[in-house]
Structure formats: C-alpha cells, structure tokens
Amino acid sequence: MADGIETCRQILLERFPSIDEDLFQYVTDILESGSDDFESGEDIHDAVGSILAEVAGEEGDIIDICNQLLTGLKCNGYDGTTEDPGKHKLLQAPVKMKELAETFDSTGTDTCTSSIWIVKRESNTVVDQKKLQKAEAKLKAKHDKRSLDTQPINEIKGRQIDNASASQSSSKRENKLESSGSNKSRDVRIQNFDLSYAERVLLKEADLSLVFGRRYGLVGRNGIGKTTLINMLSRRELFVPSHISILCVAQEVRGDETQVLQSVLECDTEREKLLEEERNLLSLTQGSQKDEASADSASARLAQVYARLQEIEADKAPARASSILAGLGFSTKMQGQQTRELSGGWRMRLALARTLFSRPDLLLLDEPTNMLDLKAVLWLEKYLLNWPCTLMVVSHDRSFLDAVATDIIHMHSQRLETYRGNYENFVKSMTEKLTNQQREYEAQQMHRQHLQAFVDRWRYNAKRASLAQSRLKALEKLPDLQPVVVDPPVVLKFPDCEKLSPPILQLDEVTFHYEKGKVVLNKVSLSANQESRIALVGENGQGKTTLLKLLLGELEPVSGLKFAHRNLKIGYFSQHHVDQLGSQQSPLELIASKFPGQHEEEYRRQLGRYGVIGDLALRPVRSLSGGQKSRVVMALMSMIRPHFLILDEPTNHLDMETIEALGTALSNYKGGVIMVTHDERLVRSVCKEVWMCANGSVIRQDGGFDQYRKLLEDQLKDL
C-alpha cells in the first residue's frame, strides 16, 4: 500500500508541479483512505477530479491521470501508460510460479523486482522544465485575472478605509475547495473573522451568513463599522467565492460624452461585445462577397451571435434600463443627456441605476435612499421586492427596511446577530431576547445568593457540612451568565429660545427664476410661526431647495414680498454642510473656532447635547462617520439659539435611535420647524402640515402625508 501511495505522489508531482502543498496532501489522503473502494479511474475522477481540474485549469486529460493513479494504487508501480487496470489480461501460456521463484532467488541482482508479485521501477523525479514553465504561466495568468476581478468595481462614497483590515480563521484548503468544487452555491458564509479600523476592533470572531435570494438589512449605531464591513465585502478582502459577482453603489459616475441611457446599457458587457461583433461580421460579409469561404464563415458566426443575443433578451435591455432610470426620476429628456451635464446627486442616482441593471449575485447598498426623494424611495422599495439575487443594504430608514428586508443583521458589541423578518420584527425579537436574558441572569443571581447563604451558614456545622458541600459544588457548576449590556439611549436637545410676536416668517406672491423664461417658483405664499411644524415635499428639481434659500435670505425674490422678524435667528441644517466636514480639526476645536470667546466646558456641554462626548469630541472630524458628522453640524447650528429650524434631509446617515431622538427633540422644541425629508416616520411623528412643491407652486396638501403618499403610489402604477 505504501508503495502505491508513493507512486501516486510521484504521478501528482509530475503532472501538477505547482500544486499547493495543502491541496496535494488532501488529494493523497483521499487516495490512501479510499484505495480499497476505487474500482475504476472514474471512481477516482468522482472523488478528486474536480480539484485536479481546477489546478490544471482544464479537464482534457484528467480522466487519463485518474487511470494512472488507479494503476499506481492497484499495481504499486507506474509505467506512464493509461491502460485500464480493471480489464483482465489473457495469458498466452501458463505461468510456472516455481521457476519464477527459483530465477528470482538465483539472480538476486534484479533491481526492478522486489518479489515475484510486484514489479518495481525507479521513480522519475525529474520535472519536465517545459511543462513546468507552461503550468506556471497558466497559474500566473489565472492569478492576474483573479486580481483584476477582485478589484473594487466601485468605491463606496464616504470615509477612507485605508487603515481597515480583516482576518479570517479559515484554512486555505477550505477556501479552495469551496471555490473549486463542482458545487457552485451562491450562498456566502464567512466564519470566525475579525475586522478592525486603525486601532479600533469592530468585529471579533464574527460569523456572517448570506443565503442567496434573501434581502438583508445591516443596522447598528453610528460609527460601529457598517460601511467598513460593506467595503471589505466589495473588495473581497473577506473571502467570497470567486464565482459570485459583487457590486456596490459607490461614488458618482464620472461625467463624459456618453448618454445617460447608454451609460446604463454599457454595464451589460456581454451584450455590448456581441453587438460590436455583430457590426464587424456584417461589414465582413458585405465586404467579402468575392471570398465565399470568408463570407460563409462570417455568416455562420453571425447566426451564433444572433442566437446568443436572443437568449439573453438583448432587445429588451433598453426598455429595462429606461424603466429603471424613470423609476429613479430620470425624465425621457434626461436619459438622452450626456453624463457630464448631470449634477452630483443625479450622477449618484445613475450609479444606482447601473448597479440595479447589472443584477450581480450579491448587491451591496450603503444608504441608497440618501440621494432620493420619496417617490424614488417608494419605487426602489417596489423594485427590490422582486430582486432575484442576494441583497445587503445599510439603511436607517425604518419604513424602507420594513418594506424590503427579509432578515436583519444587527452589528453591535463586536459581533453580528441575524434575525428573521423585517425591522419591526427585529425590534420585537431583540426586545424579547434581551428581556429573557436579563430575567435568566437575575434568576441565576437569586439562586446563587440562596446557595451561597446556605453554604456560609452551615459549612462549618458537622451535621450540615455534607449538605453545604453539595450546595458548594452546585454553585461551582452554574454557568457564568453576564448581565445584558444595553446601548445608552440617544438624547438630543435643542436649546430654548425667546418668544417672538407674529408674523415670524412670510412669503407673499413670491416669484423666482434663475434664467428668464424658466420660472422655478411662481406666486408662492407661505406663512410660518414658532408653532409651525411643516414638511416640505416634492420631487427633486421642483424648487424645494430654492424655497429654503429664499426663506434663509440667501436668494432674493424676483417679485413679491418676503418678510422676516427683525430678531429672527434661523438654524439651517444642510446635507452639503455634512459632506464638507473634512477638517483635521476635532469637533471641540471646530466649534471653538466658529464661536470663540467661551469656556471649553461650554463647548463640551453643547457637543454633549448631541451625543458628541468623550474621546469622540477630540478625534479629527474627517475620521467621523456620516451620522457623527451630522450631530456635529446640529451642535454648530444650535449655538445661536435659533427661533426657527430649517432642516434639509437631516436624517441622512443618522441611525435609527438618533432619528427617534431627533423626532422627540423637534416635538419638544419651542421654535418653528420647516423640514425636507424622505423619512416617513419622522414626518408622521413631528409635522402637522405638509406643503408640496410641484410645477412652480407650493400648495398645502389636504389629507396630510397619507394623501401625498397615495398620490405618489398612483403615479408609480404608470411606470
């Protein structure tokens, strides 16, 4: 047996000179353990053929190699032939065993035989240099291709993660077998991995399991590491089988001469290559009429191209791309524009459209609703409900997760926990789980105290010593339960302001345009006081931001009147302010530079009202997460003790708990509020009025937010 296994080792080394050491040992272990069960080369091929094919890069002669391995196992020798050892050989004459034995004993010098039963040949350990170079060239080409494939297709917009690192405690053999076997499952399972950012440990010995076809919502507090985890997956720095395609919505598309619709269609690389080949073949057939052989060959290939185009439904691709763009707010005119003509927000939408059109096996979305108005958010919800592949989305929009997610992954305390159901079910399940854990811990503590009291009382009593000893042993066997660790609640508080006599803020028949003939707002009348809670809604491009700038005084009306109380102080929150916070200053230094003259303790107190406490107040602003930057902007905004708050998408990047705290803070605030947001839950909890911007006018929506949502859903039915 040992000689047979050694022969198989020689065969493997000769045929696969660059085989990995772990993989080589794994294959030889299989051959050794199953040597008695292998009856043909096909049996060996079923056991290790797929692994050898992955090493060789081709399946052409694998079955021959398996036959050679069987010969080595059964005959304890290898002569390079591929004759099937399972066939019986017909002898031409009887074999006289006695004479063979005498001959063997008399010679004693035959180096090729060790017995009359086994023929032993010298093992050829010299590697063919040409074959070795060819194998190494194939492996290098494969490695280069894999390196290109694993480059991030798109980079996530947000903070740099150059200092992020991940480690995974899984063996090379497990990874190779998972990716090289015949089982091409599109599930993702990453076990026992660590994730860190700079010196911070984000995850420790965590497990992540993504079942193909399910939609996962990744939730957790701001700064916990959700974006870093998404980025690691998109870069394949955590092990994901190579046959699983990954796409992540990232930075905005670069502007060039390409039309918007064509930019989306170009994502289908196979379709584009086939169409290019079709054009080349058509020109070849038309220009090669004299060369009948070339024309016939081109015609045959053209038929194959047409068949493949029909198979992938290439003719339906423009309609599908146009439908996705329309759902994200692109009009027919905008779809024909060049990408360089789009603003940054629309280029982000285009990046989302390109990703949705590509349909990767694993789609990663990091706050996709931040760039969308409510109509586009509702369309995206509807579209993702029919998503055929795996989805993992980071979102703090509770309504969005309730509509889309089939599972919730909760990232906290350096671990990941998965819950079945949408976000509402997650909250119920997690609350129940934590309650049960706390009850179990408290019950065990009471039991411990009872046992300990008995032991302390009777351990030195001769009559009760045995009972005390048994209680002591029971006490030692109790599992070590830990109390439930709950994240501290988020509390936001806007400062009190003095009462102003109305009217506070008013627009009367205001008209505004940037260019003559292109009216943005036409005869708008709006009045607000310190009791106002107004939600400003409408599709992108309908003038919401222009209206806010008119109220702030950054723009002047072309006609009409704008009135503001002479003592009115307005606090303005803009998402652009958050994006522009890239300073090396700490939040403490930043607030001191903008509002000098106060004691450091006052600055810390102000930052603390918005959750920027402890070490967080001393870290560079550029290293903070988007939600943490939003809190810094709120702290800066409220330093003037405003009488009125104008908020433009304040929930972007905020986690669920902070959004809830923001709603409570706005409800308790003594001043007026005008807010632009796509967060349905926040609007319902805070706002008393809904004003809709559409077609150059601003009108009060009767029926409130419910009526506005119904109006949008009716419009989506036509898409």
Structure confidence at residue 211 as a pLDDT band (50, 70, 90): very high
| Cα 588 to Cα 594: distance, rounded to the nearest angstrom | 10
Examine the pLDDT at 105 and tell me if it is beyond 70: no
Sheet holding 689-694, edge to edge: 570-574, 644-648, 672-676, 533-537, 689-694, 697-700
pLDDT at 134: 63
pLDDT at 417: 92
| Cα 234 to Cα 152: distance, rounded to the nearest angstrom | 6
| Cα 13 to Cα 20: distance, rounded to the nearest angstrom | 10
- Going by their DSSP bridges, the two strands 644-648 and 505-515 should be labelled as unpaired
Min mean pLDDT across 16-30, 305-319, 691-705 is at: 16-30
What is the DSSP code string of 156-211? PSSS--TTEEEEE---HHHHHHHHHSS-----EEEEEEEEEETTEEEEEEEEEEE-
Q: Output the average pLDDT for the chain.
A: 80
Say if residues 666 and 673 touch (Cβ distance below 8 Å). Answer: yes
Mean pLDDT of the region 277-301: 72
pLDDT tens digit sequence for 667-701: 999 999 999 988 888 998 899 899 999 888 888 88
Mean pLDDT of the region 646-657: 87
pLDDT at 314: 84
pLDDT at 100: 54
Tokens 């810390």 belong to: 604
Structure confidence at residue 144 as a pLDDT band (50, 70, 90): low
User: Which parts of 289-416 fold into alpha helices (H)?
Assistant: 292-311, 317-327, 332-335, 344-358, 374-384, 398-404
Structure confidence at residue 385 as a pLDDT band (50, 70, 90): very high
| Cα 584 to Cα 593: distance, rounded to the nearest angstrom | 13
Q: What angle do CA 43, 49, 51 make, to 5 degrees?
A: 140
- Going 283 to 284 to 285 to 290, the CA torsion angle's sign is positive
pLDDT at 175: 47
Mean pLDDT of the region 78-82: 43
pLDDT at 138: 65
Sheet holding 188-197, edge to edge: 164-168, 188-197, 200-210
Structure confidence at residue 83 as a pLDDT band (50, 70, 90): very low
DSSP annotation of 86: T
Neighbouring residues of 97: CB distance < 8 A, sequence distance ≥ 6:
116
Mean pLDDT of the region 29-50: 77
